[in-house]
Amino acid sequence: MMIAELIDGDDFRARLIALGVRIPDDACPETCARMAALKARETGVPGLAELVQELLGKSDVLLPSVHRAIQAHLMALSD
């Protein structure tokens, strides 16, 4: 049996922090995505569009809450 590592809100938050987005410790995926989008509009976030594409490419292990947050706030960045 193969066990897949799911990408949850904590993973999503950690990846955004690694890109330089400041996010509170208790932020939900929706807040994480909103804050990343805001920073991207204000100053840019190098690597964010690539991260969005990568995560959407792993939709089979992406938790629905993270997927919805990306779709709601970050899809325009990946175009």
Secondary structure (H, E, C), the chain: CCCCCCECHHHHHHHHHHCCCCCCCCCCHHHHHHHHHHHHHHCCCCCHHHHHHHHHCCCCCECHHHHHHHHHHCHHHHC
- For residue 16, the model assigns a pLDDT of 98
Residues of the chain scoring pLDDT < 50: none
User: Alpha-carbon distance 29 to 33, whole Å?
Assistant: 6
- For residue 72, the model assigns a pLDDT of 96
Has this prediction a pTM greater than 0.95? no
- For residue 4, the model assigns a pLDDT of 65
- For residue 76, the model assigns a pLDDT of 81
- For residue 2, the model assigns a pLDDT of 53
- For residue 77, the model assigns a pLDDT of 72
